[in-house]
Amino acid sequence: MAAMRLWPEWACCAAALAAICALPCFSQTNGRIPTFRVDSSLTLVDVIAENAKTGLRTRELLTDLRREDFRIFDNGHEMPIDTFDVGAENTTRPIALWLIVQCNQTFDDGRRQSPGYHSMFIEGKTDFLKPALAHLGGNDVIGVAHWCDNGHAVLDQIPSRDTGAARAKVEEVLDQKPIAGENRSGELAMQHMIRMILENTHQTKPIRLPIFLFLYGDGCATYLGEANSILRNLLETSGMVFGINDGTWPYTPPKNFPQIASEVDPQQAKIFYLVHYYSQQTGGEVYSTPDPKLFSAALDYILAQLHFRYTLGFRPTKLDGKRHTLRVDLTDEAKKRFLSAQLRFRPEYIPIATTHDGPQNHFPKAPGK
């Protein structure tokens, strides 16, 4: 099978990450848990391969690429590909899908915030996700987490196979009395929530690929240093960030992304559109549609990308714990076969020693937690 064709049913676009998406048809019914790569010197790189034909409102997921079609570069140096796993053959590790929302918020003066500013656009509409969630793989699990501007961060549902409970938990979180808070407390709570999810990933066996799905309008920012600290944690864990929103939050997308606001003190510089930033840096994407009936199509396409991804393994020459640039490319021969092929992957990684439980590190809690 050369490609899995995705016929266009809707256009989804978000600031600086526009994409044409559609509803895929797929299913993973094999209950066998694949054997993971667990090697203290092996780095795994997840790659999503698409054939985005110019001028056509379609995308195809390329599913028949071979090991010899790929090239991988660490800080500009080509590395041998030691392992090669293919999602279409059910040899990539399963996922832990986290549905993430921000709780019902008000401004400090009690005024209700726009539903599209945070997560209230999905309230009462999680049933629209049900068809896509039926396409989770046989070894995939789903969890729920949220954060609030009053500083609260909670793992509401530890990952399980119960998709109905996950949808109900999201509705329960959003149905709570609106909370007034301030941005700084919310920034720290969001960071703490992400780290709690990563801690759960390392404590759970078998180790799954953590997928952060923010049902959120992305009206958030934080200090640049803190954003990069979170990104480091994500890169160490290979976590991927995606987003779905209704696109109604009235802001002007930045011309140059990511958008960083520099103040008099460079230490106070902030980065905005955090979900977009994290998704860009981890190989994910953010999708927007004003029609809630199409939320399932967006999630379906996300799951299709994950289930049909490739995982390339290589051994870094040095486990130095520093951020390395990462590039995955097709060989010249493969480029001739797939003229419009596009690869998506995390542009950086951190070579660190791992154990059977995951990276050897500790995720610090947010200040005051």
The answer to whether 92 and 33 have CB atoms below 8 angstroms apart is no
The pLDDT value recorded for residue 265 is: 64
Identity of the residue numbered 261? A
Q: Tokens 């209950």 — which residue? A: 31
17: helix, strand or coil: coil
Residue 220: what pLDDT? Answer: 85
295: closest CA among 176, 124, 150?
124
Question: How far is 151 from 170, CA to CA, in rounded Å?
Answer: 18
3-state secondary structure of 74: strand
Q: Are 35 and 89 in contact (CB under 8 A)?
A: no
H/E stretch holding 101: strand 95-102
Q: Quick check: helix, strand or coil at residue 223?
A: strand
CA distance 167 to 130: 8
Q: Which two tokens stand for residue 12?
A: 């989804």
Q: pTM score, two decimals?
A: 0.84
Residue appearing with tokens 């690429």: 65
CA separation for the pair 242, 121 (Å, rounded) = 17
User: Rg of the Cα trace of the chain?
Assistant: 20
Gap between the Cα atoms of 224 and 266, Å rounded: 9
Q: What is the pLDDT of residue 272?
A: 85
- Pairing verdict, β 310-314 and 43-51: antiparallel
Supply angle C-alpha 48, 116, 142, rounded to 5: 45
Contact 271, 277 (CB under 8 A): yes
Q: Looking at this protein, which amino acid is placed at residue 353?
A: A
Cα 79 from Cα 350, distance rounded (Å): 15
**Per-residue pLDDT at 36:** 42
The CA distances from residue 267 to 223, 260, 270, 334, in Å, are 8, 12, 9, 45
Distance from C-alpha of 201 to C-alpha of 34, rounded to nearest angstrom = 17
CA-closest candidate to residue 170, choices 98, 256, 220:
98
pLDDT at 51: 85
Which domains are seen in the chain, by residue range? 3-17+32-89+306-355 (no CATH), 95-302 (3.40.50.410)
Q: Give the pLDDT of the chain (369 residues) as one tens digit per residue.
A: 444 333 333 333 332 233 333 333 333 334 444 444 444 578 999 999 998 765 445 568 899 999 999 999 999 999 999 999 999 888 999 999 999 999 988 765 555 667 778 899 999 999 999 999 999 999 999 999 999 999 999 999 999 999 999 999 999 999 998 887 778 999 999 999 999 999 999 898 888 999 999 999 998 889 999 999 999 999 988 999 999 999 887 565 555 556 666 555 666 788 888 999 999 999 999 999 999 999 999 999 999 999 999 999 999 998 898 999 999 999 999 999 998 899 999 999 998 865 434 444 444 444 343
